[in-house]
Structure formats: structure tokens, C-alpha cells
Amino acid sequence: MAIDYDHIMSLKSEGQEFSYGDRETMLYALGVGMGRDPLNREELGYVYEKELKTVPSLATVIAWGAGAMRDSGINYLMVVHGEQRLTLHQPLPPAANIVVDSRVVGAFDKGKDKGAVIVSESEIKLKESGEKLCTLTGTTFARGDGGFLKEGQQVQGEQPKPHPIPERDPDGTFEAETRPDQAALYRLSGDRNPLHVDLDIAEKAGFPRPILHGLCTYGTACRTILANVCDYDHTAIRGFDVRFSAPVYPGETIVTDTWTDGNVVSFRSRVKERDVVVLNNGKCTLA
């Protein structure tokens, strides 16, 4: 089934209900590397229910499975996560009942042999009050679905533009180790794609071994900036946007360069062992 432009642009899902509690909040924090040093009092606040705080990127998993693209016509064997954008309208509580409205907001044909870019948006609200909690915008690169536009068909909107990285030397450079078993832990927060734990499936996908979830790399970068730029103040981060460039293998070291200009922290992450950029065009917006 090929993409039908009018159909995919009409896709939406409204009123999906989810809930999460302190268990999910702590499990996510552990999955992106918090709490490895039991003597670090700042990180204890993210993995212990006494006065629990939330890693801002937790927003990407609190409504795992929500979305509007189930009937999109995309060949899911050929898709990769292109970009992830997050806007926090208020700091995430450590537990909440939430309601999610999702829709497709853009579909861009790059050409028959060049794939397609699909942009979807999810707005998450607190169930009891109706207050906006966060907005997630995700870009999917559908490598096998280019050439779907009909002649003369008009496209709505514009493809999101990547955030430019400053050309000067970085203001800070910070390392974050990943554990060999990190994908096995992170997947318990929602994304159980076997690509991240099953050797046979990873090899069939063209990888020598299972890869780390892209959103785990995203969460690790968020943890790095939270710790080193925001002094562990989870209320300081109000936006977190990245473009995914390459996969990380569990056990590798993620090195993040940062540039701070006012309330915007630009960042880029690479793998130390292979000197490969894995996250690019990063933009962390501070309160």
C-alpha cells in the first residue's frame, strides 16, 4: 500500500488516555543513565521516590504507542527516526493521568528513489485539568515511499528546518558512557523493537549487533545538558530538539559539545570510539 497524500494528511487520533507513575519515571531515568553513582545526591533525586524529579525527555515515552500513523501506507521496514522535537509547557510531574491528541502535519515527497518525510505531532494534556503538558513533533524518514505525489498536487506547509550549530569552538564538552546492557533496560520504557536486543534481527537490518534506541541517545544528551548546563534543575529545560544522524552501539561513549547563547543551548553529540556524529542540529531551550 503506497502513501496517499490526502489520506495521510487526514490522519489523526484524539482523546487517547494514558497514565504513568513514579515507577515509570524512575525506570526512564535509569534507562538514560541516571543514578549510576550512588553517592551523587543530585542524581538520586531522579531515581528515588522521596522527592522525585523528572528528566524532561521522559515526555517522549509517557504516551508510548499513541499516534495517528497506523493507517499511513508507509513501509515500516524502511523507516528511520529523522528528528525529534519537544516543547514543555510546564515541567513534567513525576506521575500523571494524561490525554493525547495526535495528527499528521506534513508529508513531503523527496522523489521516487529518495524517500519521503512524514511529520506528526502529539499534544499531551493533563486529564484532570486539561492543561497543556507538552507537545511532541516527530519526523519519520520513509526511505521506501518516495514518488507518491500526483502531478499538480499541492503540498501543505513546509518541512521543518534544522537548527544551525554555531561555527565557533564549543563552550563545553561533556562525556556520557553508555552501558552494554542499556538498550535492554531502556526498552522497558516502551519501545520493544527487537532491533535493539535481538542479534539475528540486528544482522538482518545490516548492523553487526543491536543498536541503542535513538530516543535513548536523545535522552542521554538531555541528561548530559541537564547535569552540566542546568545544574540538575529539571524545570530549566522547556524545549529539546535534535536531528538523528547515526546509531550508537550500547557500551559506547557519547560526547556532547554545547554552545550557550542566552536561553538557547545548541548541541551536537558524537560517539567517541568511532568519531561519528549521532545527534546534530540540537537545540535545548531554557526557561
- Does residue 42 carry a pLDDT above 70? yes
Please, what is the average pLDDT of the chain? 95
Distance CA 107, CA 140 (A): 10
Q: Containing domain of residue 183, as a range?
A: 172-280
Residue 17 and residue 114 in one domain: yes
Is the domain of 73 the same as that of 196? no
Domain annotation covers residue 177: yes
For the stretch 148-178, pLDDT in tens is: 988 878 888 888 899 999 999 999 999 999 9
Assess whether 138 and 190 both reside in one domain: no
Contacts (Cβ under 8 Å, ≥6 apart) of 14: 101, 102
Query: What's the pLDDT score for residue 256?
Result: 98
CA–CA separation, 246 and 287 (whole Å)? 29
Same domain membership, residue 190 and residue 128: no
Q: Which of the residues are catalytic?
A: 191, 196, 211, 214
Residues 211/248, Cβ–Cβ less than 8 Å: yes
Grade residue 25 by pLDDT with cuts at 50, 70 and 90: very high
Report d(CA 138, CA 119) in Å as an integer: 6
Q: Is residue 241 in a domain?
A: yes
Residue with cell 497506523: 70
- Is residue 117 predicted with pLDDT exceeding 60? yes
Tell me the CATH number at 47.
3.10.129.10
- Note the pLDDT tens digit of each residue in 49-86: 999 999 999 999 999 988 878 788 888 777 889 999 99
Task: Quick: pLDDT tens for 81-105.
Answer: 999 999 999 999 999 999 999 999 9
pLDDT at 13: 95
According to the model, what pLDDT value does residue 223 have?
Answer: 98
pLDDT of residue 1: 56
| pTM as predicted | 0.95
How many domains does the chain divide into? 2
